[in-house]
Amino acid sequence: MSANRHPIEQEELMAYLDGELPTHKATEALSHLELCPECQTLVADFRGVSQELMDWEVESPGAGIPEEINAALGERLQKRQAASGKGQLAEIGKQSDDEPLGLGRGLGYPLRGCGTEVNAYQPQSE
């Protein structure tokens, strides 16, 4: 695929299909795609791969909220209610048992949503 004949890179074409190109680039990609059989084939290939993965269905998990979650939820809401009653909302997060499972303790994900930054997840080589 030469740069002269294809004003858009293959990677950009893929990004276009993923809805990840800015509007002006997407318009350019679409215009080219309408006229280029070679890129149409590439697009069909990408869509074929996506379809294979979309066909990878899994069965549904069990129904209902598991008991352990219900219990933790009840405990959590009770604590919050108690703290709220005492005007101690700001203290909730400081309770020792409030630490999530490994979160903020080096499990890896940068939990910016939790106000905690730790190491990044690193996929492991197998």
Partner 1 sequence: MGKTPPNDCADSAGAPTMTSDEALMLEFQGGSRAAFEELFARYRKPLYGFFVRRLNNPERAEDLVQEAFLAVIRAASRYEPRALVRTYLYGIALNLLAAERRKFLTSSALGQSAPEPKTDGTPECVLWVQQAMEKLDSPDREILMLRECEQLSYSDIAELLRIPVNTVRSRLFRSRLALKSYLESEAKTNPALRTNAGQPHPRTRGMQ
Binding mask 28-67 for partner 1 (x = CB under 8 A): -----x------x--xxxxxxxxxxxxxxxxxxxx--xx-
Are 65 and 74 in contact by the 8 Å Cβ rule? The answer is no
Does the footprint of partner 1 cover residue 82 (CB under 8 A)?
Answer: no
Does the footprint of partner 1 cover residue 25 (CB under 8 A)?
Answer: no
Does the footprint of partner 1 cover residue 73 (CB under 8 A)?
Answer: yes
By CB under 8 A, the count of residues binding partner 1 is 67
Residues that bind partner 1 (CB under 8 A): 10-11, 14-15, 17-20, 33, 40, 43-62, 65-66, 68-69, 72-73, 76-77, 80-81, 84, 92-93, 97-103, 107-116, 120-126
